[in-house]
Chain A
Amino acid sequence: MHIVVSGTEKEVPAGIALPALIEQEGIESPEYVTVSINGNFVDRRDFAATVLQENDEVEFLYFMGGGCHGFEQ
């Protein structure tokens, strides 16, 4: 099955669920990644029940700190 992950065309097994894709992609800190499919965010509680469809466009958005040491707690 053909999908687009972070702008890159991918072939994945038909009926792959979101958690399996997250694992396959080697996503860092998967509990804290934000996922959008076709421009809509997926609620974290729905990850397990989310099955990808042909031509889905998936984006992973990550927490990123910043300026570094400028403002430490």
Chain B
Amino acid sequence: MALSNEQLERYSRHIILKEIGAKGQKKLLNAKVLIIGAGGLGAPAAMYLAAAGVGTIGIADADVVDLSNLQRQIIHTTPDIGKAKVDSAKETMLAINPEITVVTWPERVDSGNILDIIEEYDFVLDGTDNFPAKFLINDACVMARKPFSHAGIIRFQGQLMTVLPGESPCYRCIFREMPPQGVIPTCKEAGVIGAMGGVIGSLQAMEAVKYICGVGELLTGYLLTYDALQMNFRKVKLPARGKGCAVCADEPEIRELADYEQPACEWRPGT
């Protein structure tokens, strides 16, 4: 299908790029991306992907907008407080670009629903804030052979990696087991600079666009780390996929999803 005059104008800065062109823009319009977590990472990612004309964007989050979210979750605004995050996110995305389809999943992903939810999407963004969800998303995407972007942020630091299951190392290749609750500080406990979600969430959107358009080198086989205080971006090379990994090795130990619980820990911050 040819692009309309309005589309030619809306996406003109994409189309003029030799790496994207009308062909790449059509790929974006036909693509389906799922964003899990409409928070600090998911907010900017969702806005850029909506603006880019990604034709179908799924957004999964069970939470409602809270005043303390607004310092960084820029897809939500003050009048949205109390609203379901997926609804607030959808309104902003459609205000940016009414021609896309936004599918809302107002639920927490778990071992029972995640494979059904991710199935129809081309690419998944992990914008969650907790380790049970991060391990679940990793394991489900590896099992379903679904390309995804992992990211994490805390304080003035962020990290990012893209996983092509079966080809590049996964999250569990680096982090074998979930840390006990309380030993790794959360953003709620330790804080996070608002713009960190903007930097790292935008990089997740960038990886999704590159994947869809088939341009450039994806951030596979590396963990990108960003230290804002030192203004230092580093790509840390990872060993090859699967060696000793419980989920992405050729003969994996983990063959079924489970709802991961973070082991309890006797030590907690502030106690």
Contacts and interface: CB of A to CB of B under 8 A. Distances in A.
Contact of A67 (B62, B108, B129, B174): B129
Interface in A19-73: 29, 31-32, 34, 36, 39-41, 59, 61-73
B263 to A, nearest CB: 11
Interface residues of A, number: 24
B39 A36 contact: no
B91 to A, nearest CB: 17
Given A41-B239, A70-B63, A29 B179 contact: yes
Given A66-B40, A67-B37, A34 B128 contact: no
Task: Determine the main DSSP class of A at the interface with B.
Answer: loop
B104 interface: no
Residue among A34, A39, A69 having the largest count of chain B Cβ atoms under 10 Å = A69
Contact of B152 (A34, A65, A72): A65
Nearest to A6: B234
A13 interface: no
Contact of A66 (B153, B183, B237, B238): B153
Given A65-B131, A71-B133, 15 more contacts: A39-B238, A41-B174, A41-B239, A61-B174, A64-B154, A64-B184, A65-B186, A67-B127, A68-B72, A68-B188, A69-B68, A70-B129, A71-B39, A71-B61, A72-B63
